[in-house]
Amino acid sequence: MGWWKFWDKEQSSGPSPVAARAPGPIDPARAKPRPEPRRSSDPATERRIAQLRQRQAALRYDFAQSELALLPDNPWQDRIDLLGEAIATVEADIASLSVPRPSTRPAISPAPITAVSATAGDLATVTFAIGDEVFRFEEQVDWDQRGGPTVRGDLQPVAGDVERVIDPGFDLDDRRALRDHLTDSIAVFATDLRDRALSDEPLPTSPTLADLAMLCPECGGWMDWSGRCLACTRRDIERQRLRVERDRLDADRRSEADERHRLAEGLSTTRRRLTAVATDLTALGVDPE
């Protein structure tokens, strides 16, 4: 037998050529990494690719938001519902402030206000008496930054106790409320006397304590010397604040509805723009995904 015969025999008795070529376990140390997509070395091209990637990420976010806006249950609708509930609560508060209230405060005795005097000048003074209690107000000097007198300062009380002109028969709640009211109303009365003196107008004739605390026909509280009801004024201020709050909430609700509508309507446009960006990336030799 020739050597080639022996070699042929050895080959025929060994594993088949297919089995000999079957791949075995891959050694990680010898495995070749997957080649990265080819990139251009041109800086302008690299900047363009970066811009497209950034735009693609933004469009993908918008696309996801648009799909979410089309669902029946979405964050925008949740916020719209919550804002609607808040608006209903505010409107109920506004309505409650508009309900007429019956008179609840007791009437004040018409005790005369006597010895009314008001002097004008550099420092005006006002004095008057309610029963045996004498009230005195004096104008304070107000200086500007240049060291000279400016506009006239406020009158400051220097004598008189409001508690001593209140009927002792009032209960504690009415007494406290009347004390606070008369403190303000007496100051308004004194300021009016001062302003009349400065304008050479006649002083009021026969004023009474009841004129400083007239019953308010709208809310049942007391009105001051100028006819202003502090309770009604506070209620009007609160009502106006609530209206501003309601308008703000309504604007937020409309904004949420507009945003949801904009995203839902823009779904097809966003899809076309994503396709265009993918096409541009592919043209530059970059995987769009």
Nearest-5° Cα angle at 128, 104 to 151: 95
- The torsion angles phi and psi of 215, rounded to 5 degrees, stand at -70, 135
- Of 139, 129, 107, the closest CA to residue 186 belongs to 129
pLDDT of residue 26: 45
DSSP code of 99? Answer: S
- Of 229, 227, 225, the closest CA to residue 212 belongs to 225
First-last CA distance in the chain: 65
pLDDT of residue 113: 95
Beta strands in the chain (DSSP E): 113-119, 125-130, 133-139, 155-159, 214-215, 222-223
Q: Which long-range contacts (CB under 8 A, 24 or more apart) does 202-205 make?
A: 203/116, 203/118, 204/116
CB atoms within 10 A of CB 75: 13
pLDDT of residue 37: 53
User: What residues have CB less than 8 Å from 60, skipping those under 6 apart?
Assistant: 274
**What residue ranges of the chain have pLDDT lower than 50?**
1-26, 28-29, 31-36, 145
Q: Using CA atoms, how far apart are residues 187 and 196, in angstroms rounded to an integer?
A: 14
Relative to beta strand 133-139, strand 113-119 is unpaired
User: What residues have CB less than 8 Å from 242, skipping those under 6 apart?
Assistant: 90, 93, 94, 97
DSSP 227-255: S-BHHHHHHHHHHHHHHHHHHHHHHHHHH
Evaluated on CA atoms 19, 21, 23, 24, the torsion sign reads: positive
Q: At what angle do helices 43-69 and 267-283 cross, to 10 degrees?
A: 160
User: What is the per-residue pLDDT across 138-185, written as a single tens digit (0 to 9) for each?
Assistant: 987 665 545 555 556 778 999 999 999 998 888 888 889 899 999 999
Q: At what angle do helices 230-265 and 43-69 cross, to 10 degrees?
A: 120
What's the pTM? Answer: 0.62
pLDDT of residue 133: 93
Q: Using CA atoms, how far apart are residues 112 and 118, in angstroms rounded to an integer?
A: 17
Q: How buried is 90 (Cβ within 10 angstroms: 0-12 exposed, 13-18 middle, 19+ buried)? A: buried
User: What residues have CB less than 8 Å from 206, skipping those under 6 apart?
Assistant: 112
**HSE value, Cβ hemisphere, 13 Å, CA-based, for 14:** 11
